[in-house]
Amino acid sequence: MVRKGDEMITLENIEITFNKGTPLEMRALRGIELAIPQGQFLTVIGSNGAGKSTLLNILAGELVPDAGRVMVDGTDITRAPIHRRSSVIARLFQDPRAGICEQMSIIENIAIASARTAPRGFGFAITKDIREQAIERLKSLGLGLEKRLNDRVALLSGGQRQALSLIMATFGPAKILLLDEHTAALDPGAAELVMRLTDEVVRRLEITTVMVTHSMRQALDYGNRIVMLHQGRVMLDISGAERASMQMDDLLQLFRRREGEELADDQLLLA
Amino acid sequence: MSLYAFIGALETGLVFALVALGSYLTFRVLDFPDLTIEGSFPLGGAVAAKLMVMGVDPWSASLAGAAAGALAGLVTAFLNIRLRILHILAGILTAIALYSVNLRIMGGPNVGLLNVDTAFSLAERLGLSSRYAPIAILLVVVIVAKIALDIFLSTGVGLAMRATGANPRMARANGVNVDRMVTLGLCIANGLAGLAGALFAQMLGAADVSMGIGVIVVALAAVIGGTALMPSRLVPMLTLACVLGSILYRLAIALALNSNFIGLNASDVNLVTAILVAIALFAPGRKFSLPKWSARATK
């Protein structure tokens, strides 16, 4: 059991409803309670509309919940704007174009990201120090990007962009890494490469990570805890030994069984 | 074209190069179509002229004109960011309001500067000939402004501003306060427009409430035309393209108006400009090459 105070992220009774008071009303999250300890690699799965992207957006600051609290490292950030929480939270997007500036060079993109955790000033952004660090970090990818510092990012493939985004997200000392289906838009080969690089970085930096994915395979292969959302609720939460011995079939069966229970409950309510 | 017309076109081109540099910042860097300059340009002229008539030295008066322009940019930023008014509309509202403000500041539709020292008459006293003094001074001001803008856009804050325009979501995720960047950009751009207005009034010998009409189209012609003629992705080249675009635009207009055979007169300038801008906006991405049938014909 995790002692109180060891959690990096605590979500308390998070509620959010979209299109309130209209026929399209949708309760996207219904009282989410989640405590994520420092260094944990959590994967969040669930079908479309389960609330996994909404959950990530609440952590990132793009959405403010109707009720509940978001605590990061002991600080309440529920209502903090995106640019304020970015010094502790780094993020990779699903769209390989979303996390970078296409018309700017690799080194310019890295310079922008390097100021995420440091104050931005009126000194030259691309210093010798940043250039050297960038070369070192890009070398670790093994994609040859360190030789293309002045190339426009628009010239890179989707996989290279996500790899660059990964370097940008972890350039400064972030406490939390949010991965928003960051391999979903890539071809299988690139997806595997980016996922492997992600895993390496997360292990090396021991950064608390929340990855949203719709691939059960990915959720099983990476990370050390799985949370499954269904209709805005936490339906499964597996970690430790149970998580380690879990196979694809077990997970699917568990999912079907819980879904069945849910349906039975609803029918009971309607009756 | 006479030498007189040529020098006149060069001077005007240099003044509007300052406006074009500001518009490059708003239109191209921030992706914010700012129409405030239609009001901040005459505002700079009005403030500077009024101060100079009151006995303030021309350089301080010009800087005050720039500061007034920056303040106008702040108003547009407030309307857009805090009141959530569409960017184009926010600029139009500020510009319209400034028309009245400018009349108030000047106490009438214009303020003459004929018997007052201007930045240019001061230079003449230093020994520059009256024909070339304005060009020399304007050249120095424009070069300083261009280089300062280049340097600014390569600083930490400058890169954050470029990211704000290119990909606001990415900028936010990297800790950039996007609203603050837009505000700063609007202040700088309109400060440049105010400075240009102040210098323009001194060149004309009067500040006039109507001297802002069409400034936005002239600035756009310089930015769009210049960058279409000199495509690049390097900031220093793009700002150079804006400066050259502004000068070329004035020369082209002067040439057209001075060539009697075309049959244009001064009142046609706005029409010609609008057509030029429309063509330049339509052209990017299209290659000016001969159609395919002509290639086949020569085979």
Evaluate whether A26 touches A53 at the Cβ level (below 8 Å).
no
Stretch A163-169: mean pLDDT, rounded? 96
pLDDT given for residue B268 in this prediction: 82
Domain count of chain B?
1
pLDDT given for residue B10 in this prediction: 95
CB contact (8 A) between residue A111 and residue B174: no
Distance from the A122 Cα atom to the nearest Cα atom in chain B, whole angstroms: 5
CB contact (8 A) between residue B166 and residue A104: yes
For residue A119, count CB atoms less than 10 angstroms from its CB and return exposed for 0-12, middle for 13-18, buried for 19 or more: exposed
- Residue B210 DSSP symbol: G
Q: Which residues of B touch A (CB under 8 A)?
A: 152, 154-160, 162-163, 166-167, 169-178, 233
Residues of chain B contacting A88 with CB distance shorter than 8 Å: none
- Cα angle B148, B154, B157 (rounded to 5 degrees) comes to 95
Q: Is residue B233 part of a domain?
A: yes
pLDDT given for residue A268 in this prediction: 53
pLDDT given for residue B289 in this prediction: 39
ipTM attached to this prediction: 0.89
Residue A48 in this model has a pLDDT that exceeds 90:
no
CB contact (8 A) between residue A91 and residue B173: yes
What CATH number should be reported for the domain holding residue B25?
1.10.3470
* pLDDT 10s digits, A58-115: 999 999 999 999 999 989 999 999 999 999 999 999 999 999 999 999 999 999 999 9
Residues of chain B contacting A83 with CB distance shorter than 8 Å: 171-172, 175-178
Q: Is residue B130 part of a domain?
A: yes
Beta bridge partners of A29: A16
Nearest residue on chain B to A123, judged by CA atoms?
B155
Q: Is residue B293 part of a domain?
A: no
Residues of chain B contacting A102 with CB distance shorter than 8 Å: 166-167
Interface with chain B: mutation pick from A82, A92, A117, highest number of B CBs within 10 Å: A82
Model confidence band, residue A265 (pLDDT cutoffs 50, 70, 90)? low
Radius of gyration of chain B (CA): 20
pLDDT given for residue B296 in this prediction: 37
> Which residues have a Cβ under 8 Å from the Cβ of B112 and sit 6 or more positions away?
B205, B206
Beta bridge partners of A55: none
Interface with chain A: mutation pick from B159, B183, B232, highest number of A CBs within 10 Å: B159
* pLDDT 10s digits, A17-33: 999 989 889 999 999 99
pLDDT given for residue A79 in this prediction: 94
**Nearest CB to B155; choose among A82, A117, A123:** A123
Residues of chain A contacting B162 with CB distance shorter than 8 Å: 101, 104, 108
DSSP letters along A100-149, please?
Answer: S-TTSBHHHHHHHHHTTSS---SSBSS-HHHHHHHHHHHHTTTSSGGG-T
> Which residues have a Cβ under 8 Å from the Cβ of B58 and sit 6 or more positions away?
B48, B52, B117, B118, B119, B122, B202
**CATH class entry, domain A7-270:** alpha beta
A-B C-beta contacts closer than 8 Å? 85
> What is the Cα–Cα distance from A104 to A153, expressed in whole angstroms?
6
Nearest residue on chain A to B148, judged by CA atoms?
A122
Residues of chain A contacting B154 with CB distance shorter than 8 Å: 124-126
Residue A187 in this model has a pLDDT that exceeds 70:
yes
CB contact (8 A) between residue B158 and residue A117: no
Distance from the B164 Cα atom to the nearest Cα atom in chain A, whole angstroms: 9
3-state secondary structure B11-47: HHHHHHHHHHHHHHHHHHHCCCCCCCHHHHHHHHHHH
One pLDDT digit (tens) per residue for chain B, 299 residues:
788 889 999 999 999 999 999 999 999 999 999 999 999 999 999 999 999 999 999 999 999 999 999 999 999 999 999 999 999 999 999 999 999 999 999 999 999 998 898 988 888 877 778 788 889 999 999 999 999 999 999 999 999 999 999 999 999 999 999 999 999 999 999 999 999 999 999 999 999 999 999 899 899 999 988 988 888 889 999 999 999 999 999 998 888 877 776 777 778 887 888 887 787 777 655 444 334 443 333 33
Distances (CA, A) of A162 to A94, A144, A193, B30: 9, 14, 10, 25
Q: What percent of chain A has pLDDT over 70?
A: 94
Report which of residues A156 and A264 the model is more confident about.
A156
Residues of chain B contacting A117 with CB distance shorter than 8 Å: 175
Nearest residue on chain B to A171, judged by CA atoms?
B174
pLDDT given for residue A3 in this prediction: 47
What one-letter code names the amino acid at A268? L
pLDDT given for residue A249 in this prediction: 85
Interface with chain B: mutation pick from A62, A83, A87, A105, highest number of B CBs within 10 Å: A83
pLDDT given for residue B252 in this prediction: 87
Pairing verdict, β A176-180 and A208-212: parallel
Mean pLDDT for chain A overall:
90
pLDDT given for residue A257 in this prediction: 80
Nearest residue on chain A to B232, judged by CA atoms?
A103
Q: Is residue B256 part of a domain?
A: yes
B242 alpha-carbon distance from chain centroid: 9
Domain, as residue range, for B230: 3-285
CB contact (8 A) between residue B172 and residue A82: yes
pLDDT given for residue A271 in this prediction: 45
Nearest of A220, A164, A229, A114 to residue B175 by alpha carbon:
A114
